[in-house]
Structures are given as structure tokens and as C-alpha cells.
A and B are shown apart, each in its own frame.
Chain A
């Protein structure tokens, strides 16, 4: 459990980890797009052996490469959380995040402020936040 207390919008049990999860997701998306490891690694400008290690969660990459992978699959927040939803988040939570991300930045801040307000209110009313 991470120490971070305020994940965005939802009280997720923890920020979505981890290297294995993303590796698994990359593999799944690659297969959905009917790409071989050779084809995808070529698009990403990396070696096939590196992609294989990445899918197995053994390979750390630069920020550039990481974001290139996300862009390649147009991996959205919703898609990403869909994977985690199977393990820890309800579909309703996923929908809320997707909705939240469609809001302009100012509106997102208002939502965050409102959640903070409701937490404080909950504590005053004797509820757990």
C-alpha cells in the first residue's frame, strides 16, 4: 500500500502499479492488434528481445519509450483501469474516471475540491472517509 493519501477522484486501494501489469497489458494489446513482437518492436524502435522482456515485466524503459508505447496503442486511462478493474476496481469506478477525464482542468479541480470537502464533512459527521 502506497503512502499517497489522495489518489485522483476515487479512493483506489493504491495507485495502479506495476511493471508486470503494464507488461501484461502491452502483450494483450499487441495480440489484439494482431502484431508480432518483431512488428511492434520495430514500430517502437526497440529490439524484439527487449519487448519480450518488457512484456514479462523485466525491463525498465526511458520516459520517451514508455510514452511511445502508450501512444502506439492510444492507451487511455479507461483502458488501463479496465485491466485493474478485474482485480480491484468496480466498473462504476472506471466509468467515473473516464467521466472525470472528459472534464476541463478547472472542472476537475472543482471535483477534487468537492471530494475533499465531503471527506472533511464525513469526518465531522463521524463517518470514515
Chain B
């Protein structure tokens, strides 16, 4: 029974790492059943935390919050408390409540330190970085990401690729374009190696933005087009919005007004139907320095 629980969890964790959340949800649900049958409260909490993590990634995690808070407040097992705090932080990050996310991410970091888990400390720093970056504290965010990278395992992982993406985007925002692109291409190479298409979207969007910033329109269009296709395939609507915006910018930059208008018009039609002024506005006004792709 024990080995069944751990095996299911381990397979679930690998599915999460690869971005296969539906498969992970099924595995963690089975792990929860096993834990309940076994009557081990610690395992039940752990399985609930794992199931919640997937639900949160799939955008349906609100119902899991009370259980996660209960696990955290009960303060029983430090291992489960850390996972609960991290998951709550991640929920608020996705809900764009960055100050709440930062609060819980810092709890997760403290718990990770107490447990002496380098990998968890790394993911906590990364999450703190995400909340800071979303609020435009670029330098502070980058410092958190660098700590995360330093603490991450030496062997390449999808996780590492995501940190590289984050650092790369920060560098591009700081105007250090070549350095930023180098991080982003390292991220992309890893993600392609692991076939982690879901996470490739963000790196491709950041590469598209980086190439727009350096006026390499063809490269920007290539990455933006792939990002758009992947985002549509995965149903990632925020990423679709960003891709349409960036593709419009890239076309505009190279003087293809029709192409730019096509993307901006689709952005308006599909996501901002009331804002009929939008395509004309974006054709005329450069909002690149206003937009945060990671917010």
C-alpha cells in the first residue's frame, strides 16, 4: 500500500514537471484514495496538497484553498506546511494577487530553509521572484531568480529551464538584451529536450519580445508564431493575448501594417470586444514599455 502511494505520487510529480496536468490530477486522486484507505493523516494531507497543486495549475484551485490553509494553520507536519504555503502562494500568483502571493511564498521559503531542502528553497525563491517581477520590481526579482538557479540541482530540468526563462526576461527588461537572449535560448533548448510544450510558451513569448526590442523582426515573428500556436493548443488565454499583441508589434516594427492590424484586430475581437479603438491605438502608440508579460 505504502509503495503504491509513493509510486503514484512520484508519477504524478513527473507528470507535473512535464506540464501534463490532467494526467497528474488522476494520479494524485488515486494517491489520495490510497492514503485514505491506509488511514495515514500525514499522507492524506500530502495527497490533498498535491491534488490542490494540480487544480491550481489547471485554474480550478479556489475550492482547495480552505484545506490548504487548514493544513498550514494546523502546523502539524513541516513538510506538508511548506507545500501548503507554496500552493497557496501559487494560487494567488495565478489569481494576480501578488502581495498575498508574496506573503505565502515567504512562508514557504522560511519552511524550506528550516527543512534544509535546497530544491524547495529554489522553488520558493523563484516564486518570490515571480511576485516581485509581476509588480515591476525587476532587479529584486532577478536576484531571487539567481538564488533559485544557484540552489537548483546541477542536472538540467524543466524547472531550471523556467528559472532561466525568468532571468532572461528580467535581463531583457533591464536592457541587457544579449545576456537575456542567451538565458532564454538555454531555457528553450532544455524545454524542447524535455518536450515541455506548456512551459515553452512563456520562453517563446519572451524571446519574441527580446527580438522586438532588438528589432530582429523575423526572429520575433518566428517565436511569436510558435508561442501563439502552443498557447491556443493548451488553452492558455493570457498567453494567446500576449502572443497576438507581440506579433502585431513585430509586424508593425517591420512596416507590415496589414499584418499588424490583423493581429491587433484579433486581439480586440477575441478578448476586448468593447474596445473597438484598440487596433488603431496599438498601431499608433508604442506600449511596449508599459506591458509586463509576466504580470
User: Which residues does chain B contribute within 8 Å of A66, judged by CB atoms?
Assistant: 287, 290-291
A42 at the interface (CB under 8 A from B): no
- The answer for the CA separation of A47 and B284 in the assembled complex, in Å, is 29
A107 at the interface (CB under 8 A from B): no
User: Which residues does chain B contribute within 8 Å of A65, judged by CB atoms?
Assistant: 295
- The answer for the CA separation of A4 and B252 in the assembled complex, in Å, is 7
- The answer for the CA separation of A18 and B241 in the assembled complex, in Å, is 21
**In contact, B289 and A18 (Cβ under 8 angstroms):** yes
What residue in chain A is nearest B256 (Cβ atoms)?
A6
How many chain B residues touch A (Cβ–Cβ < 8 Å)? 34
- The answer for the CA separation of A8 and B251 in the assembled complex, in Å, is 13
- The answer for the CA separation of A47 and B258 in the assembled complex, in Å, is 38
How close is A80's CB to chain B, nearest CB, in angstroms?
6
What residue in chain A is nearest B292 (Cβ atoms)?
A60
What residue in chain B is nearest A78 (Cβ atoms)?
B277
A50 at the interface (CB under 8 A from B): yes
Task: Tell which of A6, A61, A64 touches B255, judged by Cβ atoms closer than 8 Å.
Answer: A6
- The answer for the CA separation of A112 and B257 in the assembled complex, in Å, is 9
A128 at the interface (CB under 8 A from B): no
What residue in chain B is nearest A12 (Cβ atoms)?
B284
**In contact, A70 and B292 (Cβ under 8 angstroms):** no
**In contact, A60 and B290 (Cβ under 8 angstroms):** yes
Interface readout for A1-13 with B: 1 if CB under 8 Å, 0 if not? Answer: 0111111100010
Task: Tell which of A14, A16, A59, A76 touches B136, judged by Cβ atoms closer than 8 Å.
Answer: A59
A31 at the interface (CB under 8 A from B): no
How close is A40's CB to chain B, nearest CB, in angstroms?
17
Task: Tell which of B258, B274, B275, B289 touches A19, judged by Cβ atoms closer than 8 Å.
Answer: B289
A53 at the interface (CB under 8 A from B): yes
User: Which residues does chain B contribute within 8 Å of A120, judged by CB atoms?
Assistant: none
How close is B206's CB to chain A, nearest CB, in angstroms?
14
- The answer for the CA separation of A6 and B274 in the assembled complex, in Å, is 27
Q: Tell me which residues from 63 to 114 in chain A have a Cβ below 8 Å from any Cβ of chain B.
A: 63-67, 70-71, 76-77, 80-81, 97, 100-101, 109, 112
How close is A65's CB to chain B, nearest CB, in angstroms?
7
A43 at the interface (CB under 8 A from B): no
User: Which residues does chain A contribute within 8 Å of B215, judged by CB atoms?
Assistant: 3
How close is B102's CB to chain A, nearest CB, in angstroms?
12
A17 at the interface (CB under 8 A from B): yes
B245 at the interface (CB under 8 A from A): yes
A15 at the interface (CB under 8 A from B): yes
**In contact, B285 and A80 (Cβ under 8 angstroms):** yes
- The answer for the CA separation of A5 and B238 in the assembled complex, in Å, is 30
User: Which residues does chain A contribute within 8 Å of B253, judged by CB atoms?
Assistant: 2-4
- The answer for the CA separation of A104 and B289 in the assembled complex, in Å, is 30
User: Which residues does chain B contribute within 8 Å of A50, judged by CB atoms?
Assistant: 135
B283 at the interface (CB under 8 A from A): yes
- 19 further A-B contacts with Cβ under 8 Å, apart from A3-B253, A4-B252, A66-B287, are A3-B215, A6-B255, A8-B283, A12-B284, A15-B285, A18-B289, A22-B287, A22-B290, A59-B135, A59-B136, A61-B290, A61-B295, A62-B291, A63-B242, A63-B291, A67-B272, A71-B275, A80-B285, A97-B284
The 10 closest A-B CB pairs, nearest first, are: A60-B292, A15-B286, A62-B295, A19-B289, A16-B285, A5-B255, A59-B136, A6-B255, A8-B283, A60-B136
